[in-house]
Structure 1
Amino acid sequence: MLLFPKLAGKIVNEVQMVIKEDIIVVDTKGLIIASTQQNRVGTLHKGAQLVLHTKKKLYIDEFLEKQLEGVRMGINLPILIDGRIIGVIGITGNPVEVEHYADLIRRLTELIIQETVHAEQVESKTRGLESYFYEWVNVKSVDQQFIDRGLMLGIQMQEPHLCCFIQLKNMKQKNEDGQFIEREIFEWFQNYFQMDDVVRFGPGRFLLLKSVDRHYSDGYFRSQLGEVKKYVEMKYHTSLSIGVGKTVGTYLIAQSYKEAQKAMKVAGKSESIVFYEELLLDIMIEEVPIELRKEYLEKTIGKVKNNQELMDTLKIYLANNQSVKGTAAEMHIHINTLHYRLKQMKELTEIDPKKTEGIALFYLALKLMDRL
């Protein structure tokens, strides 16, 4: 691997927190690419060139300081990754004084590099998975090449799966704090759903591909999602909405994906967990264009929608299954008052809330209002 200036700068910053001496990082050409002294960046370091050649530690005393171009008294050490030298780190100072922590600094440097490489590899695999999933949820057929690509990413396409969307609220703004929280939650999801695949699918949104093997339990999965929602909302103080598809897919998951999308749309309204299989009226409503919704509302409750008293009465009346006694008790009004309000509803809308047809029309209207 190559030692780039950005990574070298990170090494200098990290090491500088441990020691006060000046530090340089040199690439495989002998050029200083990072230093606590900016004027040294870009200059050739003859001492580092010797280290690159010998792969051994170099003590630079007063004599060598005068003999070698661009060097200062101190110690130069090879940076080794998997036995291969990828650069040199230099610590300025009296070699006798800095020697006792020189190897520690080198080890710290190598750990920083290994950690960075690992993080880049993980990020690379994550991007690969995201790209693959974006393709997979839209394809209508798969060939062997596509299947093999999935296997390389660790995806067992032949296994049955369900699609599940998880959406964090207020994650549209991609500021630094939001990105950190989203990344931390994503990593927690990956650990929690170890046997499944989780990918980021837009701002604050994740797609979970839930394995539905012989050990799968619908009840257990529901309890898992409940725990996930509770944990995230308590720790990060943000609401969580979850939509789960119905169709179990093996090589093709487009249907389950579309179902999860629709369930997610409904879940987002109430910030809850919604399974597609439980949706009836909600699915139909989501398919109705906005203009048609508005037209329907205007023809049903258009003349009373701004009358808070009548609207509250209608909502409570329907919530109590049209029980006059129950509605009057909840609203703390006389039964005659309730009858008068229901009569007003009929006169103003020409729809009778006491008849089956009227109940259905008003119930659908209230559902449409919630969506708007």
Structure 2
Amino acid sequence: MTGAAGPSPLSSEFAQEIVDTLAPHSVYNVNIMDEHGVIIASLDPDRIGTFHQAAQQALAEDRVLNVDQPAPGSSDRPGVNVPLRVGGRLVGVVGLTGEPSRVAPAARFVGVAVELLISRELERERAVARQTRSRDFVAALASGTSSVAELAGRAEALDLRPPWTLFVESPAPEQGRVPSAEVTTILHGSRWTVAPVDVAQRYRQQPGTRLLRIDVADLSELVTRAEEARAISDSVALMPEAADDRWRWDVALAVARLGPRSRERLAARVVEPVWSETVLVLAESRSLRDAAAELHVHRNTLGHRLTQIERATGVDPRQAAGLFTLLMAVYAGR
């Protein structure tokens, strides 16, 4: 039996690379046979592509096979043939040519070494494949060019299960990746990352960057939030700086969806820095008293300032709709 079906992890190119690597350290000729017993790598070019009867038998019986006298008519030579098992699957055979009693100790060692090399290569290939799938998933998500059904298939291939946290960091940092299990790529100067919630807790924003971060419960919400994040990140100044506790996703998104002229007109409404600070604090306060305390002014002073803002802008910051408009003006001013 040769194990589970599927593409062989042992290509002829990689097998020959292994043989060439081992050759300077071995006094015996090394051959590698695939899972069908065909020689795919050897120091003797004439043997490549020929059938190795003893290798096929070693695979069929799943055991180390010594060859003292090759079978009549075969191209086999005296030596030791060691089955290669990787991930529970027989993937081929490594053979050392020579008198079996002398070759046997080295053959078993070489067999272990070749299995380790194959396992390492498979791990590398899996990492590269996951990185590619991760990049394609996030690129499709960020670009908005794929349906929810297509993204669901991509997420399943990555074994990516909700809930997640979506990160968009700009400009993309050169270092400081999140831990393993994230899917990430660089798009339009920003790094987009989707990470399981437990992994996302270890995410650290890099100095000098702005970061969007939002938790999502399912794929539909992830798609929606990605669309919103794309709009906000198109204007990096709308993204929050580190430790910006007053930043609001809804306000940034509303401003991001305005045209350039609308933003300019809106930004012109709140031009005084003290007004901007007042609007931001008021939006986060439960009452005028709390806002005055946060601003370190008397409540009457705050009331007078709000009246000034209303007269200058035509919008009452004491009303919810007016306050939201003024918040948009502050963000547009960024």
TM range (shorter): 0.5 to 0.7
Determine whether 1:35 maps to 2:15.
Answer: no
Determine whether 1:254 maps to 2:259.
Answer: no
Higher helix share: 1
Determine whether 1:79 maps to 2:46.
Answer: no
Secondary structure of 2:41 counterpart: strand
Secondary structure of 2:205 counterpart: helix
Gaps of 5+ in 1: 170-184, 230-240, 267-271, 289-372
Structure 1 window deviating more from structure 2 (51-60 vs 13-22): it is 13-22
Partner of 2:172: 167
> Quick one: structure 1 residues 273 and 58, their matched pair in 2 at CA, closer, same or farther if it must change by over 3 Å?
same
Equivalent of residue 211 in structure 2, options 244, 253, 259: 244
Partner of 2:74: 69
Following TM superposition, by how much is the alpha carbon of 1:254 offset from its aligned partner in structure 2, in angstroms?
2.0
- Partners of 2:124 and 2:21 in 1: how far apart? 17
Partner of 2:15: 8
Following TM superposition, by how much is the alpha carbon of 1:243 offset from its aligned partner in structure 2, in angstroms?
4.1
Partner of 1:51: 58
TM-score if structure 2 supplies the norm length? 0.56
- Partners of 1:58 and 1:142 in 2: how far apart? 54
> Quick one: structure 1 residues 53 and 246, their matched pair in 2 at CA, closer, same or farther if it must change by over 3 Å?
closer
Partner of 1:189: 177
Equivalent of residue 199 in structure 1, options 162, 166, 184: 184
Equivalent of residue 193 in structure 2, options 196, 203, 208: 208
**One-letter amino acid of the structure 1 residue matched with residue 137 of structure 2:** Y
Matches within 5 A, 1:1-372: 1-2=7-8, 3-16=10-23, 18-61=25-68, 63-64=69-70, 67=72, 69-139=74-144, 143=148, 146-147=151-152, 149-150=154-155, 153-165=158-170, 167=172, 189-191=177-179, 194=180, 197-201=182-186, 206-209=191-194, 224-226=204-206, 242-245=209-212, 250-251=221-222, 252=224, 253-263=226-236
Partner of 1:367: none
TM-score if structure 1 supplies the norm length? 0.51
**One-letter amino acid of the structure 1 residue matched with residue 57 of structure 2:** L
Q: Is the 8 A contact 1:245 1:258 kept in 2?
A: no
| Cα distance per residue 1:11-58 (max 9 Å; x no partner) | 323433542321111123322111122232122222223223322222
| Cα distance per residue 1:91-111 (max 9 Å; x no partner) | 122322221121121111122
- Partners of 1:20 and 1:244 in 2: how far apart? 59
Q: Is the 8 A contact 1:81 1:110 kept in 2?
A: yes
- Partners of 1:168 and 1:105 in 2: how far apart? 43
- Partners of 2:73 and 2:189 in 1: how far apart? 55
How many residues were matched structurally?
240
- Partners of 2:196 and 2:233 in 1: how far apart? 15
Structure 1 window deviating more from structure 2 (25-34 vs 242-251): it is 242-251
Gaps of 5+ in 2: 1-6, 261-334
> Quick one: structure 1 residues 274 and 131, their matched pair in 2 at CA, closer, same or farther if it must change by over 3 Å?
farther
**What is the root-mean-square deviation in Å for CA atoms of aligned residues?**
4.4
Secondary structure of 1:20 counterpart: coil
Q: Percent identity?
A: 19
> Quick one: structure 1 residues 30 and 132, their matched pair in 2 at CA, closer, same or farther if it must change by over 3 Å?
same
- Partners of 2:172 and 2:98 in 1: how far apart? 54
Secondary structure of 1:127 counterpart: helix
Q: Is the 8 A contact 2:232 2:238 kept in 1?
A: no
| Cα distance per residue 1:123-180 (max 9 Å; x no partner) | 22222222111121233996467446535534455545332246367xxxxxxxxxxx
- Partners of 2:145 and 2:89 in 1: how far apart? 47
- Partners of 1:99 and 1:78 in 2: how far apart? 13
- Partners of 1:82 and 1:47 in 2: how far apart? 23
Q: Is the 8 A contact 1:190 1:198 kept in 2?
A: no
Q: Is the 8 A contact 2:168 2:190 kept in 1?
A: no
Q: Is the 8 A contact 1:242 1:264 kept in 2?
A: no
> Quick one: structure 1 residues 46 and 164, their matched pair in 2 at CA, closer, same or farther if it must change by over 3 Å?
same
Secondary structure of 2:76 counterpart: coil
| Cα distance per residue 1:245-286 (max 9 Å; x no partner) | 3777642212223433543999xxxxx9898x69x9xx99xx
> Quick one: structure 1 residues 212 and 85, their matched pair in 2 at CA, closer, same or farther if it must change by over 3 Å?
closer
> Quick one: structure 1 residues 50 and 19, their matched pair in 2 at CA, closer, same or farther if it must change by over 3 Å?
same
